[in-house]
Homo-oligomer: A and B are copies of this chain.
Amino acid sequence: MSIEQQPEAPSAEAIVDLLGALAYGELCAFDRLAEDARLAPTLAGRTHMSRMAALELAHHDALTGRLVELGAEPIAAMTPFVAALETYHALTAPSTWLESVVKAYVGDGMAADFYREVAQFVDPQTQALIDDALTQGGRAEFAVSEVHAAVAENAANAGRLALWARRLVGEAISQTQHVLADRDALMVLLMSGAGDLTGVAGLIGRITDRHEQRMAALGLST
C-alpha cells in the first residue's frame, strides 16, 4: 500500500470499513459477553453481564443501520474483519469470571478508545453514531467493584489479573496491526487523519493513558 497526501474528506470505503469493523466487533462482544455471563458466580452477576451483551447488540444494529443508509451491505462490510476479531477472542477466551470482567472493561475499553480516535476523522453524523455505540454505561463501576472484592479476598488475584490485562493489550495491538496492514483505506484514514507520525504517536499516547487510568481504577499495575 502507499501512503500519499489525501484530500480532506475520508473515502467512502474507509467509512464503510470503520463501520464494518465496529459492527462485527459489537456482534462479537455480544456473543462473548453472553457466553461469559455463564461464568458468573451469582445470578445477579449473570444478569448484569447478559444486559451488557444485549446493549452491544443494540449498538451493532445501529451501526449496520448506518451502513445501509450509506448504501453498503452490512454482511459484506463486516466480512473482512471476521478473522482478526475471531482470532483476538480465541486467544483471549477468559477462563474465570474475573478474567471475563477485566476483559469486558480493559480490552473493550481499549478497543473503544481506538475506534473513538479514528471516528474523529469521519463525517460528524457517523462520528456521533460511533461515539454512541461505544457507550459502556456502568461497566467501569461493575469491573472496579468485582476486582476490588476479589483482590481483597485474595491478594494474589492482583498479579494474575495484571498479567491477564497485559495479554489482552498485546493481542489487541497485534490484531489491529493485522487489520491495518490488510485494509489500505483504513490505514490511509488513520494516517491522513492523524496528519503525520507525530499525530499517530499522540493518538497512541492518548489510548495508552486511558488504558493506564482503567488499570489504576482496578488497582492493578500495568
Q: What residues make up the interface of A, taking CB atoms closer than 8 Å to B?
A: 27, 30-31, 34-35, 37-38, 42-44, 46-47, 50-51, 53-54, 57-58, 60-61, 64, 74-75, 78-79, 82
Instruction: Say whether A27 contacts B46, CB under 8 Å.
Output: yes
Given the interface pairs A54-B57, A54-B58, A57-B53, the reply to whether A47 lies near B27 with Cβ below 8 Å is yes
Cα distance A212–B38 when bound, in Å? 34
Instruction: Say whether B60 contacts A47, CB under 8 Å.
Output: yes
Selected A-B contacts with CB under 8 Å, 12 pairs: A27-B46, A30-B34, A31-B38, A31-B50, A34-B35, A34-B53, A35-B35, A42-B75, A43-B75, A43-B82, A51-B57, A54-B58
Ordered nearest first, which 10 A-B pairs have the shortest CB separation? A34-B34, A54-B57, A54-B54, A43-B75, A44-B75, A50-B57, A30-B50, A27-B47, A31-B34, A43-B78
CB proximity of A23 to chain B, nearest CB, Å? 9
Seed contacts A30-B50, A53-B54; 14 additional CB < 8 Å A-B pairs = A27-B46, A27-B47, A30-B53, A30-B54, A31-B34, A34-B34, A35-B35, A42-B75, A43-B79, A44-B75, A47-B74, A53-B57, A54-B54, A54-B57
Instruction: Name the B residues within 8 Å of A57 (CB-CB).
Output: 50-51, 53-54
